[in-house]
Amino acid sequence: MNKQKQERGDFSGISQKFSKSIYDTSKGQLRMEVLKRDLAPLLASEPCLVLDVGAGLGQVNQWFQQKGFKVVHSDLSSEMVEEAELRHKAQGLDQQCQYISSSLTDLVNQQPFTQYDIILCHAVLEWLPDTELAIQQLASLLKPGGRLSLMFYNHHAKLFANAIYGNFDYIERGLKVKKTVRLSPENPAVPEQVESWLKNEGLAVTQKTGVRCFHDYLRNIEHQQRFDELLALEMKYNQMSPYRELGRYQHWIIEKPNCQEE
């Protein structure tokens, strides 16, 4: 029997490896600290309905659950969803969270009239084949007056990092690999294009942050372990140009106006 090929971004079978590769490292810890700082105003708002797309193990949406928000936790991997539910249960949080194993497209198709006050979509776009369509779908799921927390892999930062590493052939190939690596996203987004697509949907970017503006470019990787100093540096400059634009990821807070222009 042929094993069904998994979709890109479905981390079933490697959830523990995913957790260690992403969250149990200085880069993962830095990402979480930056997100916590950026999301503080949303966490301080009146509890409402939150959708977390590609929620993984639920580390971010648990902050909202702790504040009394109702959360829909959605991920392509049923294994990740089950693991997240177990983690939340251990913290007494699962009663206010609905767990769904679903793609973004399925969410739109299965719940066409459901809209959310807050949508979290972190490190998802780069795994999808059609970024523009994904933004259209996210816009359709967001209530008027709602806010979208969007974090995506930055094409410009990937190119710049590979230039520093001397991977000139890779850049010449358009950043296309010869062999797919499962935990490595292959579709980084161009920020200017993302902002154009958001504008087409009537969405406005209200805050921009770079994530890992300095971390990934350190010539001596041992300096990545000087975490407190590095975190302070990132926090000081990651919303300032030109450092912001060099973040390996971009984290944007986006609003949908209450009254859509005709």
pLDDT tens-digit readout, 203-247: 999 999 999 999 999 988 898 889 999 999 999 999 999 999 999
Q: What confidence category does residue 4 fall into, taking pLDDT thresholds of 50, 70 and 90?
A: very low
CA proximity to 100, closest of 139, 131, 141: 141
Annotated binding site: 31, 54-55, 75, 122
> Among 3-17, 188-202, 212-226, which range has the highest average pLDDT?
188-202
- Please list, in sequence order, all residues whose beta carbon lies within 8 angstroms of the beta carbon of residue 81, skipping any fewer than 6 positions away: 55, 73, 74, 75, 99, 100, 101
Binding site for S-adenosyl-L-methionine: residue ranges? 31, 54-55, 75, 122
Contact (CB, 8 A) for 210 and 240: no
Residue 2, pLDDT score: 40
Please state the rounded mean pLDDT for residues 3-16. 52
Q: Is the pLDDT of residue 59 over 50?
A: yes
Cis bond leading into 188, ω under 30°? Answer: no
Pairing mode of beta strands 49-53, 70-75: parallel
- What pTM value is reported for the model? 0.89
pLDDT in tens, 19-58: 555 667 889 999 999 999 999 999 999 999 999 999 999 9
- Pseudo-torsion of CA 223, 227, 231, 233, nearest 10°? -40
- The torsion angles phi and psi of 11, rounded to 5 degrees, stand at -100, 25
Domain boundaries, the chain: 15-153+189-255
What fold does the segment set 15-153+189-255 form as a domain?
Answer: Rossmann fold (3.40.50)
